[in-house]
Amino acid sequence: MLIAVARVTIQDSLDYPGKQVITLGTVYDFNINTHVKELIRLYNRQSTDYRVELVTYDDPTSRAIDELELRLMCGEGPDLMELTGMYSA
């Protein structure tokens, strides 16, 4: 027989004035698999200081990489990059 004990404490949301947002950029949403999305969700639930937000550069005219390059050159790119499936021709 397995017995689990948990302690739950309710804290006022004012104790956490706001989380710093960390952006995770990807080109095309299908590159981020469900495992990575689940890891982001779990991290966001446990962290009291940071929140990871997924930013997808998915332009229907296939100019997503151009948009990402422009944002990076302007200093507006994501904090982190997921590069699965990206290659140079």
| Total structural domains within the chain | 1
Spatial distance between the Cα atoms of 82 and 86, rounded to a whole number of angstroms: 9
Quote the domain boundaries for residue 56.
15-82
Spatial distance between the Cα atoms of 70 and 28, rounded to a whole number of angstroms: 16
Per-residue pLDDT reduced to its tens digit, 2-45: 787 777 666 665 666 688 999 998 876 665 778 888 999 999 99
Q: Is 36 domain-assigned?
A: yes
- In this structure, the strands spanning 80-82 and 50-57 are unpaired
| Confidence label for 46 from pLDDT (cuts 50, 70 and 90) | very high
Which distant-in-sequence residues (6+ apart) come within 8 Å of 57 by Cβ? 25, 26, 27, 28, 64, 65, 67, 68, 71
Q: Is 50 domain-assigned?
A: yes
pLDDT of 80 strictly over 60: yes
pTM of the model: 0.66
Look up the CATH number of the domain holding residue 55. Answer: 3.40.190.10
